[in-house]
C-alpha cells in the first residue's frame, strides 16, 4: 500500500524517460509531416480532382474520422505483415498515425479551399497562371492561412494521440511509463510525471505554432 507520493525512484530512471520523450517527439513530428502532405494532396484531389478520385478521398476521410485510432493502429500493425510488408512497431505506428492525421488534415484543408472564392481562381487564370501555381499560391496559401488554427489544434491532438502506440509495443513515452511502473511500483507518481511532460509538450507546441503563425501571417497570438 502506498501512502505518500515518492518521485525519487522514478527520477533515477531519467534516461529512460528522455528516451521515451525523444521517441514521442519523433513520432509526432514525422506523422504530422506525412499527415500534412497527405492532407494537402487529399484536399486538392477532393476539391479539384475527377469525380471518382474526389469520391474515393471522401470515403477515406469518412472512414478514418469515424473509427478509433487504436483500431487503425491494430489494423496496420497486424494486417500489413500478411501482405508481405514486414513493419516494425515503430514503422506501423508512423504509418497509422500519418493515415489518421491525413484524413483530418484533408477535411480541414478542404474546408479552407472551399472558402476561396471562385473569382480568385478565375482572376489567376486570366493572368495566365498555370494550374500548379494557381493551386500553390492562389488556393493553398490563403486556405492554409484560413484554417491554420484548426489545423494546429489537430496537430496537438495528434501529439496526444501518439500516447496509444504503446499498445503495439512501440517505445514511446506512455510505454516507457508502463515499464517504469513495473520497475519502481510507483504507478501513480509515474503517470503524474508523464502527464506533466505531455502537458509541457503541448504548451510548447502551442507556442511554436503561434510563433509560426506570427512569422507566416503576421498574426497576433490570441
Partner 1 sequence: MSLRDFGPNELMFLLLATRWTIMLALIAFVGGGALGLVIAAARIAPARPLRWLALGYIQFFMGTPILIQLFMAYYGASLLGFRPDPWFAAALTFCLNAGAFFGEIFRGAITAIPKGQWEASATLGFRFLRTLRLVIIPQAMRLMLPPTVGFMAQIVKTTSVASLIGLTELARAATQVNTVTFQPVMVFGTVSVIYFALCWPLSLYAARLEGRLAGHVIRKPALPAA
Residues that bind partner 1 (CB under 8 A): 1-2, 47-48, 62-63, 65-72, 74-75, 78-79, 82, 113-114, 116-119, 160-161, 163-164, 166-167, 174, 177-178, 181, 187-188, 191-192, 194-195, 198-199, 202-203
What would the grid cell of residue 115 be? 472558402
Nearest to partner 1 of 7, 78 (CB atom): 78
Nearest to partner 1 of 30, 157 (CB atom): 157
Nearest to partner 1 of 191, 219 (CB atom): 191
Shortest spacing between CB 212 and partner 1, in angstroms: 19
Shortest spacing between CB 123 and partner 1, in angstroms: 13
Nearest to partner 1 of 11, 216 (CB atom): 11
How far apart CA 71 and CA 61 sit, in angstroms, is 15
Shortest spacing between CB 218 and partner 1, in angstroms: 25
* Burial of 4 (C-beta count, 10 Å sphere; 0-12/13-18/19+): exposed
Shortest spacing between CB 69 and partner 1, in angstroms: 7
Nearest to partner 1 of 12, 114 (CB atom): 114
Shortest spacing between CB 18 and partner 1, in angstroms: 18
Shortest spacing between CB 198 and partner 1, in angstroms: 5
Q: Are 20 and 85 in contact (CB under 8 A)?
A: no
Nearest to partner 1 of 30, 160 (CB atom): 160
Amino acid at each position: 500500500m502506498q501512502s505518500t507520493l515518492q518521485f525519487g525512484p522514478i527520477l533515477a530512471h531519467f534516461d529512460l524517460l528522455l528516451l521515451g520523450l525523444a521517441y514521442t517527439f519523433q513520432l509526432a513530428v514525422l506523422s504530422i509531416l506525412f499527415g500534412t502532405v497527405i492532407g494537402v494532396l487529399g484536399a486538392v484531389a477532393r476539391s479539384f480532382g475527377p469525380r471518382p478520385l474526389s469520391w474515393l478521398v471522401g470515403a477515406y476521410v469518412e472512414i478514418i474520422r469515424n473509427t478509433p485510432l487504436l483500431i487503425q493502429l491494430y489494423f496496420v500493425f497486424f494486417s500489413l505483415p500478411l501482405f508481405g510488408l514486414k513493419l516494425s512497431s515503430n514503422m506501423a505506428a508512423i504509418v497509422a498515425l500519418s493515415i489518421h492525421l491525413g484524413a483530418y488534415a484533408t477535411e480541414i484543408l478542404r474546408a479552407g479551399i472551399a472558402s476561396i472564392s471562385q473569382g480568385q481562381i478565375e482572376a489567376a487564370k486570366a493572368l495566365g497562371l498555370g494550374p500548379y501555381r494557381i493551386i500553390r499560391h492562389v488556393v493553398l496559401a490563403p486556405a492554409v492561412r484560413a484554417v491554420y488554427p484548426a489545423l494546429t489544434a489537430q496537430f496537438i491532438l495528434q501529439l496526444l494521440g501518439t500516447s496509444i502506440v504503446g499498445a503495439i509495443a512501440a517505445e514511446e513515452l506512455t510505454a516507457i511509463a508502463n515499464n517504469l511502473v513495473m520497475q519502481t511500483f510507483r504507478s501513480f507518481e509515474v503517470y503524474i510525471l508523464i502527464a506533466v511532460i505531455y502537458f509541457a509538450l503541448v504548451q510548447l507546441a502551442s507556442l511554436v505554432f503561434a510563433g509560426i503563425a506570427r512569422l507566416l501571417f503576421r498574426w497576433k497570438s490570441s
